[in-house]
C-alpha cells in the first residue's frame, strides 16, 4: 500500500471553520472546560455553584420501538446442551473463517439506487453484496536475510499525527475504518469510526483522563447524538498514540524485501492468564511494519498485526490487522479534539473503558480483561454448561468475536441496534438449527396464483394504509420457541398464517399445533425436524386440518404421529395456498391485509440478523435468494418514508423486539419479497376469483 508522506515535508495544520465574530488575527478561544454528566460531581466547580441544567431529555438508547408491543411475560430463551465431542467443535471453529472480512459489519447503503416507498429496487446482485473472499492466513512478514546494517533506533512518535487506517478482524468477519487525530504534546486524541458515525475523545487534565464517546443513533425518525462519558486517573499509556501498542517492548526483527523495518513482540501466559479460558494458554505474536522519514526522525507505521495461538484451539485462533493507509504530521486545533456539551442530545456515564475507547482492545499486548467479566456474566445469564475446557475455550472465543462484531456494528449509525443474545457463543453451523427451510421448487403441488393482475396491484400503489398490523386486531398468537434441536420454522410460520386466516373467518384466535406438522407431514413432503419447504405444511392442512396447540403441544423434536388421537380445529382444512406476486411491495401488502398474516422466506443466517435487538433492519450482507428461514409477515410500518414489514420470528421473545423484526422493503432485504405465500380457507375461495 502507498502511505502518504507529503506531510513529512510540509507540516499541515487543521483548524475548525472560521467564526465570523472573531476579529482578523485573533485566535479562537480555548475549548470550554469539560462538564461531566448532570449530577456527577465536578471538582472544578467553585463551592456553591450549581451544575448546568441537563440537556433536553431523549429516551435512552434501547427503549422499545413504539410500533411494537413491549416485552412481556418472557419465556426462558432456548438453551443448548454441552457438545458430545469437543474435538469436533474445535475443528469446526478453526474451519469457520469470515466470509467477507473486508466489509464493515453491516452494509448499510445499497449497492444500487434506493427505491421509494412501494417500489422495489433490486441491488446489482440477487444474493446481496458480492465481494472476492480474502484469506488472512499469512503467518508473518518474510524478512530480507541478507540485511547487515545495525538495528535502527526504537520507534518514536514525537510529533502530532493524523492517521487513516482500517482494522480487520478476520474471525469476527468485519473491517472497521477509523481516523486518528493525536496531539503529541498533550496526549489528547480523537478517533472517528466508520466515517464519523461514532467518535471517541480523550483529554488529559492534570492526572485525570476524560473520555467521551459520541454515537449517531438513527433508529428513530430523527437522528440523536448519544454521548457516553468516563474518567479515570491518567497513565502513561493514556498519552500515547492510540492506534499502536507499547512499542518499548518490541524488538527489531529485520527488514522486509522492500527495506521496511519489521518489529516484533511475543507475549505468552500460563493457563488461564492473559485472557485465556480455564486450562488454556495463549501466545500473542505482535508484528509492526514501518518505515522512517528521510531524516530518520519520524516513524511511519504501515501495518500492525496480532496473531493469537491457543494450547487448546491451535494456531491463529484469533487475530487482527491494522492497515495504515495514510500517515501525516498534522497539528490539531484544541477544539477538534474536544467534545462540547452542546454536541450531545443525550449523555450518560459509564464505568466501562471499552465503551468509550474501543480501539484500545486492539492495541493491547494481550486480551482485554473486560471479556473475562462479560463472558462470565453471559454464562450465568444463559445457564451455560460446557463439556470441558476445550468447549469452554471455543465458546469464549466465539463470544469475543461476536462481541467485537456487535460493538463495531453499533458504531455504524445504522437504523437498528444489535446485541449479544443466546446465540452469541454458537458457530454459524450451530445457529442453522434455528432455521428450517429446504428449497423445493417442485411444481407438483397445486396452488393458486395471486388473484390480482399487475394493473390492479399498480392501481393500489399509494392507496393502502400507511401502516397495518394484525396484532392490533387480535389475529396473532404469542411468539413461539422452535428450540435448538428442531429446524421447524416452516411449521411455525405456516401455522401462524393459518391462525390468522381462521381469525378472519371466525373472529376467534386459536393457537394451533406446529408439532402435528413435524410429526405427521412426511407423506406430504415434510421432513420433521429437518429442512422443509412450506408447501408440505399447506398440503397437510388441506388434507388433515390442524389441532389446537393445547391438544397437541410442541415438543421441539420429532415424535410418533398422534393426529388420529386428536381432532383438528374446525375450519382448519384449507382449500389451497396462494403464491403472492414476487418482488412487489404492494402485492405483499395486499396479501397481508386481504388474506391475513403471510409466510415469507428469508435468509436468517446473517450475523446481524441473528444478533438483532431493535430498530429498522437493513443489511446488504443479508443474502437474497438464500431461502433458509420461514417467518410470518403480520403487517407493515413506515420509517423515514420507507416501508418496513413486521415479521414474527420463532426464536422466543428473548430475540429482537419481543420476537419480531422490522425488515426494510424497498431493497428486498434478505429476500423478504421473493417467496411470499398465504393459505386460503374454503370460506374465502371466492376471493381468488
Burial of 24 from C-beta contacts in 10 A (0-12 / 13-18 / 19+) = exposed
Contact 669, 107 (CB under 8 A): no
458 is catalytic: no
Nearest 10 degrees: Cα torsion 419, 425, 426, 431: -30
Each as own residue / partner, the long-range contacts of residues 471-475 (CB below 8 Å, 24 or more positions apart, any chain) are: 471/69, 471/634, 471/635, 471/646, 474/503, 474/509, 475/499, 475/500, 475/503, 475/504, 475/509, 475/596, 475/597, 475/634
Core vs surface per residue 307-326: b (16+ CB within 10 A) or e: bbbbbbbeebbbbbbbbbeb
Catalytic residue, from 317, 489, 520, 670: name it.
Answer: 489
DSSP annotation string for 533-566: -THHHHHHHHHH--BBTTTS---SS-----GGGS
Residue that is written with C-alpha cell 415434510 in the block: 526
Q: Residue 314: beta bridge partners?
A: 310
* Secondary structure (H, E, C), 382-400: CCCCCCCHHHHHHHHHHHH
In the chain, DSSP finds a helix count (H) and a strand count (E) of 11, 23
- Assign 516 to helix, strand or coil: helix
- Assign 273 to helix, strand or coil: coil
C-alpha cell, 55:
440537556
The count of other CB atoms within 10 Å of the CB of residue 178 is 25
Core vs surface per residue 485-513: b (16+ CB within 10 A) or e: ebbbbbbbbbbbbbbbbbbbeeeeebbbb
CA-closest candidate to residue 661, choices 628, 623, 612, 591: 612
Catalytic residue, from 629, 639, 668, 670: name it.
Answer: 629
Pairing of strands 282-292, 261-268: antiparallel
C-alpha cell, 487:
429446524
520 is catalytic: no
172, 248, 323 from 261: Cα distances, Å: 29, 15, 15
- Assign 682 to helix, strand or coil: helix
- CA–CA separation, 69 vs 360, rounded Å? 38
Catalytic residue, from 649, 654, 668, 670: name it.
Answer: 649
Q: How far apart are the first and last CA of the chain?
A: 64
C-alpha cell, 469:
398490523
Contact 390, 88 (CB under 8 A): no
Q: Residues 6 or more apart from 483 whose CB is under 8 A from it?
A: 78, 556, 557
- CA–CA separation, 625 vs 629, rounded Å? 11
CA-closest candidate to residue 516, choices 498, 503, 528, 524: 528
CA-closest candidate to residue 528, choices 496, 504, 560, 550: 560
Phi, psi of 2 (to 5 degrees): -90, 130
629 is catalytic: yes
The residues assigned a catalytic role are: 489, 629, 649
Amino acid at each position: 500500500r502507498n502511505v502518504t508522506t507529503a506531510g513529512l515535508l510540509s507540516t499541515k495544520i487543521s483548524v475548525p471553520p472560521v467564526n465570523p465574530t472573531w476579529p482578523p488575527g485573533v485566535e479562537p478561544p480555548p475549548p470550554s472546560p469539560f462538564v461531566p454528566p448532570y449530577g456527577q460531581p465536578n471538582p472544578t466547580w467553585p463551592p456553591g455553584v450549581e451544575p448546568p441544567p441537563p440537556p433536553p431529555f431523549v429516551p435512552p438508547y434501547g427503549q422499545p420501538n413504539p410500533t411494537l408491543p413491549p416485552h412481556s411475560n418472557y419465556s426462558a430463551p432456548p438453551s443448548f446442551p454441552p457438545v458430545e465431542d469437543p474435538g469436533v467443535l474445535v475443528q469446526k471453529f478453526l474451519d469457520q473463517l469470515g466470509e467477507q472480512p473486508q466489509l464493515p459489519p453491516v452494509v448499510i447503503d445499497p449497492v444500487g439506487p434506493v427505491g421509494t416507498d412501494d417500489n422495489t429496487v433490486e441491488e446489482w446482485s440477487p444474493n446481496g453484496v458480492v465481494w472476492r473472499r480474502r484469506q488472512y492466513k499469512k503467518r508473518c512478514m518474510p524478512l530480507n536475510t541478507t540485511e547487515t546494517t545495525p538495528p535502527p533506533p526504537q520507534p518514536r512518535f514525537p510529533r502530532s499525527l493524523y492517521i487513516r487506517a482500517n482494522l480487520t478482524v478476520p474471525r469476527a468477519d468485519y473491517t472497521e475504518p477509523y481516523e486518528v487525530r493525536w496531539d503529541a504534546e498533550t496526549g489528547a486524541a480523537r478517533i472517528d469510526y466508520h466515517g464519523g458515525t461514532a467518535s471517541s475523545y480523550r483529554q488529559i487534565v492534570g492526572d485525570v483522563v476524560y473520555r467521551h464517546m459520541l454515537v449517531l443513533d438513527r433508529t428513530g425518525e430523527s437522528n440523536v447524538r448519544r454521548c457516553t462519558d468516563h474518567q479515570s486517573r491518567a497513565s502513561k499509556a493514556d498519552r500515547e498514540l492510540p492506534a499502536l501498542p507499547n512499542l518499548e517492548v518490541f524488538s527489531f526483527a529485520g527488514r522486509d524485501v522492500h527495506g521496511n523495518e519489521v518489529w516484533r513482540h511475543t507475549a505468552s501466559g500460563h493457563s488461564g492468564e492473559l485472557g485465556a479460558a480455564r486450562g488454556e494458554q495463549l501466545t500473542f505474536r505482535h508484528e509492526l511494519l514501518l518505515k522512517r522519514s528521510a531524516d530518520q526522525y519520524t516513524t511511519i507505521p504501515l501495518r500492525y498485526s496480532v496473531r493469537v495461538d491457543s494450547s487448546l484451539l491451535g494456531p491463529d485462533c484469533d487475530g487482527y490487522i491494522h492497515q495504515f493507509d495514510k500517515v501525516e504530521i498534522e497539528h490539531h486545533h484544541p477544539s477538534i479534539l474536544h467534545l462540547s456539551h452542546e454536541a450531545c442530545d443525550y449523555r450518560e456515564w459509564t464505568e466501562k473503558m471499552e465503551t468509550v475507547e474501543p480501539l484500545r482492545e486492539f492495541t493491547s499486548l494481550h486480551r482485554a480483561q473486560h471479556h473475562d467479566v462479560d463472558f462470565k456474566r453471559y454464562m450465568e445469564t444463559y445457564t451455560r454448561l460446557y463439556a470441558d475446557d476445550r468447549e469452554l475455550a471455543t465458546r469464549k472465543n466465539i463470544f469475543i468475536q461476536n462481541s467485537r462484531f456487535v460493538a463495531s456494528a453499533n458504531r455504524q449509525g445504522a437504523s437498528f441496534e444489535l446485541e449479544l443474545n443466546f446465540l452469541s457463543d454458537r458457530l454459524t453451523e450451530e445457529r442453522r438449527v434455528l432455521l428450517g427451510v429446504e428449497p423445493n421448487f417442485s411444481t407438483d403441488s397445486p396452488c393458486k396464483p395471486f388473484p390480482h393482475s399487475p394493473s390492479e396491484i399498480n392501481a393500489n400503489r399509494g392507496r393502502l394504509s400507511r401502516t397495518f398490523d394484525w396484532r392490533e386486531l387480535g389475529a396473532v398468537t404469542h411468539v413461539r420457541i422452535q428450540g435448538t434441536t428442531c429446524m421447524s420454522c416452516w411449521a411455525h410460520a405456516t401455522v401462524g398464517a393459518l391462525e390468522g386466516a381462521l381469525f378472519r373467518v371466525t373472529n376467534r384466535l386459536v393457537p394451533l399445533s406446529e408439532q402435528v406438522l413435524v410429526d405427521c407431514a412426511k407423506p406430504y413432503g415434510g421432513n420433521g425436524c429437518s429442512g422443509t419447504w412450506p408447501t408440505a405444511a399447506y398440503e397437510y392442512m388441506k388434507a388433515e386440518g390442524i389441532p389446537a396447540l393445547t391438544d397437541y403441544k410442541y415438543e421441539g423434536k420429532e415424535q410418533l404421529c398422534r393426529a388420529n388421537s386428536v381432532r383438528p380445529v374446525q375450519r382448519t382444512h384449507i382449500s389451497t395456498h396462494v403464491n403472492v406476486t414476487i418482488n412487489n411491495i404492494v402485492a405483499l401488502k395486499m396479501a397481508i391485509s386481504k388474506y391475513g398474516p403471510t409466510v415469507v422466506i428469508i435468509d436468517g443466517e446473517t450475523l446481524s440478523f441473528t444478533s438483532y435487538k431493535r430498530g429498522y433492519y437493513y443489511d446488504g450482507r443479508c443474502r437474497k435468494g438464500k431461502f433458509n428461514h420461514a417467518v410470518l409477515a403480520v403487517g407493515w410500518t413506515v420509517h423515514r418514508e420507507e416501508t418496513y414489514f413486521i415479521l414474527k420470528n420463532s426464536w422466543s421473545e428473548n430475540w429482537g423486539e419481543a420476537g419480531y423484526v422490522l425488515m426494510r422493503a424497498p431493497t428486498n432485504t434478505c429476500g423478504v419479497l421473493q417467496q411470499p405465500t398465504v393459505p386460503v380457507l374454503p370460506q374465502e375461495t371466492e376471493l381468488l376469483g
